[in-house]
Amino acid sequence: MEAGILFVHGLWMHGWVFGLQRRRVASLGWSSRSYSYPSVRAALDEVADGLAAAIASAGERPLHVVGHSLGGCVVLHMLARHRPAALGRVVVLGSPLCGSASARVILRVPLLRHALGRALPAWLEQPLPCIEPHREVGVIAGDRPIGLGRLVPSMAQPNDGMVTVAETRWPGARDHIVLPVTHMQMLWSSACLRQTLHFLDHGFFERPAAAPGASFR
């Protein structure tokens, strides 16, 4: 039985942001769908439980999950709360798995803190999630610093304009790679998609044998 892909968007987004990548994977023979949720209004537990239900609705068919930014945090939170039998591999793109300096700056500004909604602050307040050790999670980070994070002078380098590479280094990941993309470019980058599909197929990212850890465009 062939696996499908479920895309999970981030803060202030909707499932349609993965439209280009979904068309690309369809041309390669993959079926896919998006999980949309109210990223500002909804609580983290609520969104994670909804994601678990979406995966369960696939029945026995294996379903890989790809989450961008907050979406990746939602996926890991879901894995800490549920044991989805149909879940395949997971790839998270630019997700602040280990904190977010830029978000913490925004949270200190009364006029802006509500823009971050409920789910992201809840994620930042909790310890790193513990998930089943057999789960295969790959993490893609970006190091092109163009984005709202430039308004945070103390933001560490390297970063993707929103999330630092260090903030993506979750210790439970099976593999981690850094690509020369911004936070938003991950939504349409062909390099990100190639690496994502390689991990979904093999459980590790693509690297030339002679240059482990090399970046890809």
Domains of the chain as residue ranges with CATH: 4-202 (3.40.50.1820)
pLDDT tens per residue across span 114-125: 889 999 999 999
Mean predicted confidence (pLDDT) in 17-31: 97
Mean predicted confidence (pLDDT) in 46-75: 95
Q: Are 175 and 205 in contact (CB under 8 A)?
A: yes
Integer CA distances (angstroms), 19 to 8, 141, 172, 189, in order: 12, 21, 29, 12
C-alpha 79/C-alpha 81 separation (Å) is 5
pTM for this predicted structure: 0.93
- Residue 197 contacts by C-beta under 8 Å, 6 or more apart in sequence? 25, 28, 30
C-alpha 216/C-alpha 191 separation (Å) is 7
Give residue 1's Cα distance to chain centre. 25
pLDDT tens per residue across span 82-140: 999 999 999 999 999 999 988 888 888 887 888 899 999 999 999 999 999 999 999 99
Phi, psi for 33 (deg, rounded to 5): -150, 170
C-alpha 139/C-alpha 159 separation (Å) is 14
SS3 of residue 159 by DSSP: strand
> Taking all residues of the chain, what is their mean pLDDT, rounded to a whole number?
92
Q: Are strands 175-179 and 87-93 parallel, antiparallel or unpaired?
A: unpaired
Q: State the SS3 of 168-200.
A: HCCCCCCEEEEECCCCCHHHCCHHHHHHHHHHH
Residue 157, CA atoms < 13 Å, CB-side half-sphere:
5
pLDDT of residue 130: 92
Q: Are 140 and 186 in contact (CB under 8 A)?
A: yes
pLDDT of residue 1: 59
C-alpha 99/C-alpha 182 separation (Å) is 18
Integer CA distances (angstroms), 186 to 10, 62, 111, 161, in order: 11, 24, 29, 12
Strand order in the sheet with 137-142: 32-35, 4-8, 63-68, 87-93, 137-142, 175-179
